[in-house]
């Protein structure tokens, strides 16, 4: 039962932290936009870079893994980017349905890329 609470706590914390960083990156998204079309490779590189920087900041701020079990850490690394990708895709659909501009981060692939990069940095460099 303790493992379940530990996994849920880590999952919620990861989603919140990555979500905050990703929302903060919306201001940077404007750099990757060229009119109505986005340069896909530049955007992917940008999200990889932002994920790596965000991961490094979180390792600095929280140097320890919150999950003690390496299996749980790996499970978290597999689940969190997928969930965050779906959350940001849903936000993009909501923005489209309410006649608001949709940013590239509002797509599953970019949100997933950012969250996976951040999670990988935490997975390999947190103590």
Note the pLDDT tens digit of each residue in 53-68.
989 998 998 888 878 8
Residue 36 has pLDDT above 70, yes or no: no
User: What total of structural domains would you count in the chain?
Assistant: 1
**Distance separating alpha carbons of residues 55 and 81, to the nearest angstrom:** 13
Confidence of residue 116 (pLDDT cuts 50, 70, 90): very high
Q: Say what the pTM is.
A: 0.69
Q: Note the pLDDT of residue 21.
A: 63
Beta strand 37-38 with 33-34 is antiparallel
* DSSP for residue 62: S
Q: Which two tokens stand for residue 60?
A: 């600095």
- 1: pLDDT strictly greater than 70: no
In which domain, by residue range, is 23 found? 2-125
How many CB atoms are closer than 10 A to CB 37?
7
pLDDT at 18: 64
User: What percentage of the chain exceeds 90 in pLDDT?
Assistant: 19
pLDDT digits (tens, 9 = 90+) for 45-55: 888 998 899 89
Is the pLDDT higher at 12 or at 96?
96
């Amino acid at each position: 039962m303790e493992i379940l609470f530990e996994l849920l706590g880590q999952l919620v914390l990861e989603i919140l932290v990555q979500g905050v960083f990703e929302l903060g990156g919306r201001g940077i998204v404007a750099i990757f936009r060229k009119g109505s079309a986005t340069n896909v490779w530049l955007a992917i590189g940008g999200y990889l870079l932002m994920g790596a920087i965000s991961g490094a900041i979180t390792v600095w701020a929280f140097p320890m893994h919150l999950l003690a079990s390496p299996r749980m850490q790996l499970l978290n690394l597999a689940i969190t980017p997928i969930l965050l990708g779906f959350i940001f895709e849903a936000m993009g659909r909501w923005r489209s349905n309410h006649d608001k501009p949709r940013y590239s981060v509002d797509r599953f692939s970019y949100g997933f890329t950012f969250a996976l990069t951040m999670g990988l940095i935490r997975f390999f460099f947190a103590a």
